[in-house]
Structure 1
Amino acid sequence: MKILITGSNGLLGQKLVALLRQQAGVEVVATSRGANKLAGLYPNLRFVGLDVTDPARVGQVLAAEQPTHLIHTAAMTNVDECELNQEACWRQNVTAVEYLVGACARHNIHLTHLSTDFIFSGEAGPLAEEAQPAPVNFYGASKLAAEQLVQASAGPWAIARTVLVYGVAHKYGRTNLVLWVRNSLRAGEAIKVVADQWRTPTLAEDLAQGCWLLAREAAQGIYHISGDELLTPYTMALRVADYFGLDQRLIERVDASTFSQPAQRPVRTGFLISKAQRDLGYRPHTFAEGIGIVGAQSEITGKKNPPG
């Protein structure tokens, strides 16, 4: 089995590299548009530069590497940036998927495509795979269009939808709620956290495990891969503060309307994951366990993620 990962410099991409390198009989090819951030950690890692928005390069790399499986994690995921730069968002999230779907089908490569809870309106979470998509922002619309391309593929495919992924990665500039809350409270900074949105937060290691299970089983269809606890960001923040023994009084409970953001957010998403549990044996960590894992990893690496 030879698995090619797009977006290997990202949070999920890095977790996939770490996980798949441990699997017997699995050859890993890491790809990213930028320079390989993992060279220092894995000197023997096979890395190939790949801009997924370049159709010629996509075809060239897949023909040369001949993977049996491809896990597509590369995407434009900043929701507000997608709203403000819709052409760039569409090129990265939809047009690139069209190129990958075509190349994978031509070479009979099993494609696992990452998607999001933001394809839903957020009126009735937690949601099963059969729920009707109705995105409320451009990011969600782009990811739904990508899903439709994948589902129309003549080749083998699986879609892994996920929710609010958090974790620690190497040389990774973006933050997540767990580290932001911990670092802010440690610095004595007051923070405002939304209490009228609901999600099932997902540890990056769990999402990587779910993607590996989809590839290993050559699964076909849509799977919800997330945590299984429906929480508000405010509740998450309180739990982070409690875990690290920090002052919860610094956390202000606010409504989403407090923030002026270009993109609307769905109110109540979160996923039901019984299909992945039943078909794949997927078992996510609890949010409390996830906080502990992220905390331990960030202390080891000396990670200092600023909020934003």
Structure 2
Amino acid sequence: MKILITGSNGLLGQKLVKLLIESNEEVIATARNGNRLPTEYTGYTFEEMDITDPVSVEKILQKHCPDAVINTAAMTNVDECEKDKAGCDLLNVEAVKHLIEGCNQINAHLIHLSTDFIFDGTHGPLTEEDKPNPISYYGESKLKSEELVMAKSYKWSIVRTVLVYGIAHDMSRSNIILWVKNSLENRKNIQVVNDQWRTPTLAEDLAQGCYLIAKNSTEGIFNISGADMLTPYEMAIQTAEFFELDKSLIEETDGSKFTQPAKRPPKTGFIIEKAKKQLGYQPHTFKEGLKVLGDQLQKS
């Protein structure tokens, strides 16, 4: 099977490339600004592709004619999206139009990544049938892209996920686990909120869920996340315990103490029964995910 990945330099992109190579699939990795994948990755093709440029998208898709396209590229910094709405629209909405058109031309299965931030956070955990109601511009942009995919794509799947964590080569952004670990190692006091709930997702699990959808050509909306419902404070405490760091440096607080441009949904998290039944998806527990990350940090 031939699978093209957008955003291959990102955390999920890197995990997907590795998984697909190991699964003996034909992989086309694409990114806008050169190839930053680890040098030990071999057996794939890299193409520079700007998903905001319809000519670039058409050229690369027509050249390779993949069976599936997994779109991991997006503007995901929630506060930046609030401040730069035009940039957010360009990458999260307009670019998706180009991918839909390109996939339709070659009858490729478009697998599009989305987020729990399409919900308002009034209740959780959520199923695939719950009604979206975003409270941030990032959430609005991802909901718009979902609606485009469902309305315009010939073959499509939407993968909704929650608070992805992990480690990858040459990472441009951190995540909550690495932030907590690095802060405590440097003896920094940190404040972590206790009034938001999520089902944090190991990047390897998210990659596995995307691959199961592509391999089985399964269409529709799927919640792909971890199964453990936790607050960021609970995640921080478990991270400190796993890495044997000083928990007393972690101060429990609530979201009202922070001023951020974008609102966060208080309670999301996903029910993942559909993915388990239809795809055979089985995520790691949060503690198992910490061990995966810890093992990778030891090797790096």
> Per the shorter chain, which TM-score range?
over 0.9
Deviations 1:136-169 (A, max 9, x none): 0000000000000100124111000000000000
C-alpha distance in 2 between matches for 1:79 and 1:137: 8
Contact 1:39–1:45 (CA<8 Å) still a contact in 2? no
C-alpha distance in 1 between matches for 2:229 and 2:136: 22
Contact 1:185–1:246 (CA<8 Å) still a contact in 2? yes
Tell me the SS of whatever aligns to 2:30.
Answer: strand
1:275 aligns with 2:274: yes
Paired residues for 1:1-308 under 5 Å: 1-24=1-24, 26-38=25-37, 40-301=39-300
The TM-score normalised by the length of structure 2 is 0.98
Counterpart of 1:159 in structure 2: which amino acid? I
Tell me the SS of whatever aligns to 1:152.
Answer: helix
Flag the 1:154–1:259 CA change in 2: closer, same or farther, 3 A: closer
Alignment: residue pair count: 300
C-alpha distance in 1 between matches for 2:258 and 2:279: 39
Flag the 1:215–1:14 CA change in 2: closer, same or farther, 3 A: same
Contact 1:135–1:141 (CA<8 Å) still a contact in 2? yes
Counterpart of 1:240 in structure 2: which amino acid? T
Tell me the SS of whatever aligns to 2:22.
Answer: coil
C-alpha distance in 1 between matches for 2:160 and 2:14: 18
Tell me the SS of whatever aligns to 1:279.
Answer: helix
Contact 2:21–2:43 (CA<8 Å) still a contact in 1? no
Offset, 1:51: 0.5
C-alpha distance in 1 between matches for 2:150 and 2:229: 28
C-alpha distance in 2 between matches for 1:87 and 1:46: 32
C-alpha distance in 2 between matches for 1:247 and 1:255: 21
Unpaired stretches in structure 2, ≥5 consecutive residues: none
Counterpart of 2:84 in structure 1: which amino acid? N
Tell me the SS of whatever aligns to 2:172.
Answer: coil
Contact 2:110–2:153 (CA<8 Å) still a contact in 1? no
Counterpart of 1:141 in structure 2: which amino acid? E
Between 76-85 and 35-44, the greater mean CA deviation after superposition: 35-44
Offset, 1:45: 2.6
Offset, 1:277: 0.2
The TM-score normalised by the length of structure 1 is 0.96
C-alpha distance in 1 between matches for 2:153 and 2:250: 50
Runs of at least 4 residues of structure 1 off by over 4 A? none
What is aligned with 1:305? none
Unpaired stretches in structure 1, ≥5 consecutive residues: 302-308
C-alpha distance in 2 between matches for 1:148 and 1:20: 28
C-alpha distance in 2 between matches for 1:154 and 1:145: 14
Tell me the SS of whatever aligns to 1:48.
Answer: strand
Offset, 1:245: 1.3
Tell me the SS of whatever aligns to 1:21.
Answer: helix
Tell me the SS of whatever aligns to 1:71.
Answer: strand
